[in-house]
Amino acid sequence: MLKRELFVTIFMLPFLLVAAQETTSVRYPTFQVYGTMKNKFEYASETGNSRFSVRNSRLGVRGYFTPFVSYRGQVELSDNGNFKVLDLYGSFEPVEGLSLSVGQIGIPLFNSYAISPGSLMFANRTFLGKYYIGTRDIGFLADYNFAMATVPVSIEFGAYNGNTINDPVWRNELSYGGRLELGNMTGLRSTFKFYDYPNSSTIHYFIYGADLRYQGDNWKVETEFMRRDNRAVDGEQLSAYYLQGAYAFPLNENYIFKSVVPAVRWDAIDEQSDEKGYDVGRLTVGLGFGLTKKIFSSILRFDYEHYFMNRPLDFLDLNDEMDSNKFTVELLLNF
């Protein structure tokens, strides 16, 4: 009897181990849906005009196709009424810390918290995040993450068509750029980056910049500088910087709003390096009311922007409301 039970146990053991592995292992491909919605109302005090808008409505999917291959796709359902395909790429992760991505992807120049609608500290982006260059292109990006002593380090390098998203043009000269990141999103973080963008006979931008950031348990402060030189046109350049910070005061979890978030920002932009001072400056103050326990995420916010005009800029003069002082009410939802 004992021998028979032992034989049965030995015979069934491989099947039991396989069954246990199947119940604990991940089934591929994995699939996760995420999204962002930004609805806002704006009032331009200098013209007396106002408007409602769906500024952004993004929907994306991401996951792993195999343990070593991930994917991401994201569309803009409404960018001021326009539909756009944003992210569309696959990534190979052959060893720990290394990611090799191919497709339509972000360039290694901008911080996500300065350009992504769901990560902004205010209803409107900084000058630096809006007026320099497109944030995505079609190409290849390598990202290697490792630790140097106790400091997390990320090194990125990418090559791109150098045109825009959703337009796979032929080029005889690709765009390329890189970024060095020290630290992570909690605590102290700094990055140094550049991007070379030869687009036409009149546009060959070389962009470079650096930033410094610190985030604590319920507060953060960020500053960044960026400059763009046009190597195809002598003397054509653009410089911008910003300094911003916010503090989240937690409220009772049973309240509708979970936190109160005051924030302030100063940013400026200048294309006349031979002139003293900046061309356009802006002071933004805001008061937000967090909708979830996750701070600096889904929020109802009230912003006021005050412009300081020293010299007019063409790209800020497309309509009278662009450089007008504004009151903004925004509902931001992240899921």
User: Is residue 4 pLDDT above 80, yes or no?
Assistant: no
DSSP string of 144-188, one letter each residue = EEEEETTEEEEEEEEEE-SS-TT-----SS-EEEEEEEEE-SSEE
pLDDT tens track for 40-98: 999 999 999 999 999 899 999 999 999 999 999 999 998 877 899 999 999 999 999 99
Residue 19 lies inside a defined structural domain of this protein? no
Total residue count of the chain as it appears in this document:
335
User: Is residue 14 pLDDT above 70, yes or no?
Assistant: no
Q: Which residue has the higher pLDDT, 273 or 80?
A: 80
Pairing of strands 187-198, 204-215: antiparallel
CATH code of the domain containing 106: 2.40.160.10
Residue 229 lies inside a defined structural domain of this protein? yes
* pLDDT at residue 228 in the model: 96
Residue 284 lies inside a defined structural domain of this protein? yes
Q: Distance between CA atoms of 184 and 194, rounded to whole angstroms?
A: 20
Q: Distance between CA atoms of 137 and 163, rounded to whole angstroms?
A: 7
Residue 7 lies inside a defined structural domain of this protein? no
pLDDT tens track for 93-139: 999 999 999 999 999 999 999 999 999 999 999 999 999 999 999 99
Q: What is the mean pLDDT of the chain?
A: 90
Calculate Rg over the CA atoms of the chain.
Answer: 24
Q: Distance between CA atoms of 239 and 268, rounded to whole angstroms?
A: 8
Residue 232 lies inside a defined structural domain of this protein? yes
Helix (H, G, I), strand (E, B) or coil at 8: helix
pTM of the model: 0.86
- Residue range 307-326: average pLDDT? 89
* pLDDT at residue 273 in the model: 67
Residue 27 lies inside a defined structural domain of this protein? no
Residue 190 lies inside a defined structural domain of this protein? yes
Residue 290 lies inside a defined structural domain of this protein? yes
Dig out the tokens for 58 from the structure: 């993004």
Boundaries of domain holding 233? 46-334
User: Is residue 1 pLDDT above 50, yes or no?
Assistant: no
* pLDDT at residue 293 in the model: 93
Q: Distance between CA atoms of 295 and 31, rounded to whole angstroms?
A: 25
Total domains present in the chain = 1
* pLDDT at residue 80 in the model: 77
pLDDT tens track for 171-223: 899 999 999 999 999 999 999 999 999 998 899 999 999 999 999 999 999 99
